[in-house]
């Protein structure tokens, strides 16, 4: 007989702010800038998403990122952020 069980360990961690995280593929990046500002950047082959929200909106994403992603520097994050903003900006494309 086989019995399957699932063990869930819950813990709390204090995250130093600002905090910058990325996944292994570098397609998802997350920045906690202060207690009220989270920026999430997703860059995939066919679309780019930039989200600015209060951290509690993405609390499960923050927990997953903290436990499974890698840290990155502020400069690395904002390089990616500015590339993402440029990729969705219409002004330079329409002004020409």
Q: Tell me, what's the pLDDT at 47?
A: 87
**2 lies in a domain?**
no
Residue 66 located in a structural domain: yes
The answer to whether position 4 is within a domain reads no
Q: Domain for residue 77, yes or no?
A: yes
Domain tally for the chain? 1
Task: Return the DSSP state at 90.
Answer: -
Euclidean distance between CA atoms 31 and 82, whole angstroms: 13
Q: What is the C-alpha to C-alpha distance for residues 92 and 13, in angstroms, rounded to an integer?
A: 43
79, two tokens: 């390089």
pLDDT in tens, 27-80: 999 999 999 999 999 998 888 999 999 999 999 899 999 989 999 999 999 999
Is residue 37 domain-resident?
yes
Range of the domain at 38: 19-95
Task: Count the Cβ atoms, other than its own, within 10 Å of residue 21.
Answer: 22
For residues 81, 87, 91 and 96, what is the CA-based torsion angle, rounded to 10 degrees?
Answer: 140
Report pLDDT for 94: 61
- The answer to whether position 58 is within a domain reads yes
Q: Could you tell me if residue 12 is inside a domain?
A: no
What was the pLDDT predicted at 73?
96
In a domain, 52, yes or no: yes
Q: Are 66 and 15 in contact (CB under 8 A)?
A: yes
């Amino acid at each position: 007989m086989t019995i399957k069980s699932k063990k869930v360990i819950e813990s709390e961690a204090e995250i130093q702010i600002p905090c910058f995280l990325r996944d292994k593929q570098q397609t998802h990046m997350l920045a906690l800038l202060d207690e009220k500002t989270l920026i999430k950047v997703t860059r995939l082959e066919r679309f780019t998403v930039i989200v600015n929200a209060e951290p509690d909106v993405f609390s499960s994403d923050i927990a997953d990122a903290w436990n499974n992603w890698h840290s990155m520097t502020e400069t690395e994050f904002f390089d990616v952020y500015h590339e993402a903003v440029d990729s969705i900006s219409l002004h330079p494309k329409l002004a020409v």
